[in-house]
Structure 1
Amino acid sequence: MNDTVAAAGRTVFTGSLRRFATQTPAPQEALSRAKAARIPWLHILLALVVTRGVWLAIAVYGDQNYLHAMAQFDGSWFKGIMTRGYDIQAQGLSDGDAGNWAFFPLYPALLWLVTLGGQLNPDLMGVLLSNALLVVALGLGCRYLAITRPGASMQLFVWLTASMPYSFYFSAVYSETLFWLLCFASLIDWRCQRTGRVMLWTLLLSLTRATGVFWVIAMGIELLVRLRLFAFVELWRRPDWLLIGVMGPLGLFLFMAVLYYQTGDALAFSHVQISWGREMGNPFVNLIEGLSYWLTAPETLRPAWQASMALVGIGLMAWLGVQRRWLEMGLAGFTLFVPLATGLDAIPRYMIGMPVFVLALHDLLSRVPRSLAWMLVALGAIFNLWLVENWYDAAFWLV
């Protein structure tokens, strides 16, 4: 009797593993696809030259300082960290209660390196750094497409990313492109089961942005969904998976140690968010209240627009779930709902900063006729030009 039960359990377990293998490529197959991928480097460079050239022309025509515009808002905080480190006490903003503790250290550390310790123009070097990181991130993104979406148009992905609404963040002195690079590197190596590399990438992700901490949680969710309770059995066989869970948040813990040494508050990166009006609440209440502005105060654009973008994000996240892309869905969910719980501000930036939302949009465009897909990309690029003009005018609702 016991032998029969054990055999049945092994059968179910083996079936779960087999379904796991059919839904995602085996590590060796993933590695083979990654190595065989033909990255459209020419399209990547051309897309960046064309789009950035148009943005520069808009700045010149409007008598705007392109480099200054690309280094404004959060760029000023990153430059401040690069030159003087983290604040000992709060300063900045109109009430003087803000601090640069909200900004994680890896990007300003890279900025310090490329400016040779602050000797070179940080605006120029920051823009060059962000675009260089984007080139690498797009190359990795195409490799990830080859692993998870064989046959998908890499050119469409490249031009969509380079020109879509809010893509100007990728040229700003912001950490978005660094986060994209690390996210794709971790996703690729997770699919190829190069767990030592995944440990490094996840550590660096949690040194880049707070949302980087959620990568290992999303990985655990994927294992639970695919293997169900047998995921716990696998953890005994795969201690390297447990080590990823340990190493992933280590970047955050190191940052917390620095903040504790500097300010006496290890959670200063979270507590300082109140300076920007962020307080923990119900994400769904925030979403509904924001959407209600379309009816009650349509002239108040900011909350209504941010809430609408959050609704788009929920749709894209659901589409990832429909496709059974559990890891990507988990990353989208954490990226969207955790910030949404503290308010509507910067929701589009959180979404553009997590590549899985762009992958979901690319998946949708891949389902429509090719000509229509490219037309939609072009329309998005035109809309982005309006956003770029507002960015040059320092429109605060774009922060």
Structure 2
Amino acid sequence: MAVEDVARPNAGDRFTAVAVAAVPLLFVVSGLAIRYAAFASVSTELGFAAYARALCRWDCAWYVGISEHGYERFPIPNHSNIGRWGFFPFYPMLVTAIRAVFPFPTILVATITSIACSYAACLVAWPLLEKNVRAYVLYCAFLLSGPFSVHFTTFLTEPLFVLLTSCVFLALKRSTYLAAGVSSALLSATRLVGVLVVFATVIQMSREHRGQGGSIISFPRWLLGRPDLLVAIFISPAGLFAYILFLYLTVGDGFAFLHVQRAFGRVAGNPLVFLWDGLSAVPTTGWLPTAPQWSAFAALAGLTLSAVLAARRQYGAALFCAASIILPLITNLASMVRYVIGLAPLMMLVAVLLSASKLTCLAALALFLGACYFMTVAWIGGYLALV
């Protein structure tokens, strides 16, 4: 009996592990099928290579250029006066390294790498979702077969950003702060807002200290007595600092990634004004919201979900997500939809809320899969709200 009692849990654990791995794999296949069908409906050229090229829109072309040619030294005669410095280096470097081993076209390597990153992000989300099966299914469907799955399966930073963000919060959940620091360092080399996750790390450390009977006032002294925690904090922005040093040595301007934003039409202003301008950009014909309205809706939805995270006492995740929305909002609403859906804690929260009942879960799943086709067509067609 004792042997049987041990064997049954082990068999159950193996089944769970297989199911956890199989669910996102199923959505990898279904997502590819749906997006390819959408591509085939608007393209005369078929094949996976043509599909990958068709989905490489907007910022994707910049990342392909960085992966193949690196960052330019300005000025370059007879070239664009907009440098690539605003796009952070870690993901293009990763694709370049993989391409050195598998010598295929950059966009093919990047597409497969993005799918792999999104798949891995799903696996990391399983413990973060407290092993909630319905929420896990919805989250996997959203990333890999959902309306915005194109963002997570082409050469954009969202797949790696979501994966590394999930790794940070899983490490914090397990109080493995050094792992959180390493993931944070890589995150800060992926996108500028990645550096903000260090505040979530400090908040989690503070909660652990108070859980041990400490107070807020005694937290700094306790922290100074923990060199391992200090190392985790100090290495968190290492990716950003390394990029600043690289730009200083090669371009002469360590903050070129900020200064070049003006060339993209990003100038600091009042985020409330940007929100109001977006909401008031009503369509001149038809009833569908305009691209600025969609961006404003996304920003407001993201901030509202951040408040829900705070209400659920997930203060670190709430602060990280809110700051990651407000920072780009200071310049304008461009790419706001993409920025919001790329915040893993928010999308996990949405999955949890939609999984509250079997009916809402099934309805959301059907909506995700159905919208994937039409949003892919819109992406290929250059719909501005999806940029």
TM over 0.5: yes
1:122–1:295 Cα change, 3 Å: closer
Q: How does 1:1-399 map to 2 (within 5 A)?
A: 38=17, 40-63=20-43, 65-89=50-74, 96-116=80-100, 119-146=103-130, 153-223=135-205, 227=210, 228-294=216-282, 301-367=290-356, 369-399=357-387
Shift of residue 299 of structure 1? 7.9
Read off the aligned partner of 1:270 and give its amino acid letter: L
Residues 142, 148 of structure 2: 8 Å contact kept = no
Shift of residue 47 of structure 1? 0.7
Q: Distance in 1 between matches of 2:226 and 2:64?
A: 42
**Residues matched between the structures, number:** 362
Residues 37, 143 of structure 1: 8 Å contact kept = no
Residues 247, 256 of structure 2: 8 Å contact kept = yes
Q: Distance in 2 between matches of 1:214 and 1:35?
A: 37
Q: Distance in 1 between matches of 2:133 and 2:294?
A: 35
Look up the SS of the partner of 1:101 in the other structure: coil
Read off the aligned partner of 2:142 and give its amino acid letter: L
Q: Distance in 1 between matches of 2:75 and 2:27?
A: 41
Q: Distance in 2 between matches of 1:98 and 1:127?
A: 25
Q: Distance in 2 between matches of 1:188 and 1:68?
A: 34
CA RMSD across the alignment: 2.7
Q: Distance in 2 between matches of 1:95 and 1:284?
A: 36
Read off the aligned partner of 1:42 and give its amino acid letter: A
Q: Distance in 1 between matches of 2:326 and 2:276?
A: 13
Shift of residue 188 of structure 1? 1.2
Shift of residue 219 of structure 1? 2.6
Deviations 1:326-348 (A, max 9, x none): 11101111111111111000001
The range that moved more, 257-266 or 153-162, is 153-162
Residues 337, 385 of structure 2: 8 Å contact kept = no
Deviations 1:106-136 (A, max 9, x none): 1111111222279421111111110011111
Residues 130, 173 of structure 1: 8 Å contact kept = yes
- Give 2:47's aligned residue: none
Q: Distance in 1 between matches of 2:288 and 2:168?
A: 42
Gap runs ≥5 in structure 2: 1-12, 45-49, 211-215
Deviations 1:38-70 (A, max 9, x none): 461111100110011111012112226411122
Look up the SS of the partner of 2:281 in the other structure: helix
Look up the SS of the partner of 1:98 in the other structure: coil
Residues 69, 391 of structure 1: 8 Å contact kept = no
Residues 225, 326 of structure 1: 8 Å contact kept = no
Q: TM-score, normalised by structure 2?
A: 0.86
Counting aligned pairs with the same residue, the percent is: 28
Q: Distance in 2 between matches of 1:300 and 1:145?
A: 33
Q: Distance in 1 between matches of 2:316 and 2:14?
A: 22
